[in-house]
Amino acid sequence: MTTVRTRFAPSPTGYMHIGGMRTALFNWLWARHNNGVFILRVDDTDRERNVEEALGPILQAFKWLGLDWDEGPEVGGPHGPYFQSERDDLYKAGVEKLLAEGKAYHDYDTPEQIKADREEAQKEKKQYINIRRSLELTEETRKQYEDEGRPSVVRFLIPRDQKVEINDEVRGHVEWDAGLISDPVIQRTDGSCLYNFATVVDDASMNITHVIRAEEHLSNTPTQVLLHQALGNTLPTFAHIPFVTAPGTTKKLSKRDLSKYKNNPNFKKMFDRADQVFPLIGLGDSETLNPVMVEYYERIGYLPAAVLNSLSRTGWSLDDKTEILSLDTVVKNFTLDRVVKNPAGLDPDKLFSFQGHWMGELSLDEKIDGCLPYLLKAGILNEAEAVSKRAFVGQVVESLGDRLKLFADILDVAYFFQDEIEYSEKDFKKRVAKEGVPELLTTYRERVAALDEFNAEQLEALLKGLCEEKEVSGGLLIHGLRISTTGSPVGPGLYDCLLLVGKENVLKRIDTAVARANSM
């Protein structure tokens, strides 16, 4: 029985696209479902790029999500090297084979000639197909061109008298008329080979059995099939999966459209959260890291389980009802016939729901471990305090309960760890500097100071008693107290907040707030 072998071949761009990671995940899932091999291969044919630096975020994305690779960078394997820039000899040997068998040819057409041909086709409203002038050159003319140093590319000679057919695992039977395909350049004038040819050579030499990729690559398939056939390769099975769309649209999710996404109601919260959190922990803002990148999710505190749950449900489903899926469950049930044909939208709300579920599966210690790095990076705690105040961090985490959706959410309650707090001018005027509130706060502060026991029951009894005595709404004092002691209009329950702030700080903060209100 043939071992299933899949591959993912990212270009080292310096970040891992969330849609690309979904494609990588489907390749990984199919390999793991079949006890096969998953290969990570790097398309680094851009020699100007610093591959090591640009590849780092991509490898980190795989490691963070726990998607291991059996062959590739850092692990090696029997079919290396796994960087396309190091495989030139294989590509050139493939080109020479096609040239020797008359299946490829040197094309001496100048850019000006090709441009004129394209314009003529456009004028006649015809599809452009290259004119094979170089095939009609005499040996004398060919030698003359070479003596003159006239550059030439190598083109693959498309057999235009046939159809190209595949049975795609997702799209079913697909066919193309080879007579409408222009001869592709497979080797540039400088001797380097193009991706469309290199990927065919690589897939064959690495014994790839299944090419699982996004549907925009479907247009590359007929040429690649013909190249496989010309080289005498065993044809892999193709599966073209739907591309990932931006939330609420039918357009492919793209980093080029970031400015639009910031106004997309389905996406805006994620960008706003990045702009709130990342500056605090030294990562710039949503221009630097954004929801198009896998790194965004790691840095803002999503769990791998939630992201994998979301990605696996983007274009694939176990059934119509099951939403929460562990990675083990998906591996066990993953088949290509369950992949849909239509574009699959990234759903931030559903992802956030998955995050809430998987966060709820963590132990208190795991939540503390996830929150501490944010307190450290934001300078709220130092290394020594992260140890000495671990139990207190646990109390804060417990007080947040289901409100702790992302690990970065711990930064929203920084007031529990700080001596001084900041007030929002708007909230302060609305809740504290309101007629009658400073007097209520002063009286409440005096009664709290006189308490022998500082606990939730006593604090609540004092508040209710004072409001009944003054014949005012409890909300008036509750909101005033919350802003005075935390600076935030939202958070854990008021009495949990007061206990975590501590009696001494509660008294100080009320004094500060009342003084400020009276001076306004």
Catalytic residues: 260
Residues 6+ apart with CB under 8 A from 170: 239, 240, 241, 242, 336, 339, 340, 341
Continuous segment of H or E residues that includes residue 155: strand 153-156
Partners of residue 339 on adjacent β-strands: 316
CA distances from 414 to 12, 191, 394, 486 (A): 37, 59, 14, 9
**Rounded to whole angstroms, how far apart are CA atoms 146 and 165?**
38
Contact 54, 295 (CB under 8 A): no
Crossing angle of helices 456-470 and 494-501, rounded to 10° = 120
**Rounded to whole angstroms, how far apart are CA atoms 339 and 239?**
9
Contact 480, 414 (CB under 8 A): no
* Nearest residue to 162 (alpha-carbon basis) of 183, 182, 178: 178
Is 262 labelled a binding residue? no
Task: Report phi then psi at 241, rounded to 5.
Answer: -90, 155
What stretches of 74-194 show up as alpha helix (H) in DSSP? 88-100, 111-123, 139-147
Sheet holding 185-187, edge to edge: 104-107, 153-156, 185-187
Task: Report phi then psi at 155, rounded to 5.
Answer: -110, 145
* Inter-residue long-range contacts of 126-132, CB under 8 Å, 24+ positions, other chains counted: 127/180, 128/182, 129/180, 129/181, 129/182, 130/155, 130/182, 130/183, 132/105, 132/157, 132/183
Annotated binding site for ATP: 255
List binding-site positions.
Answer: 255
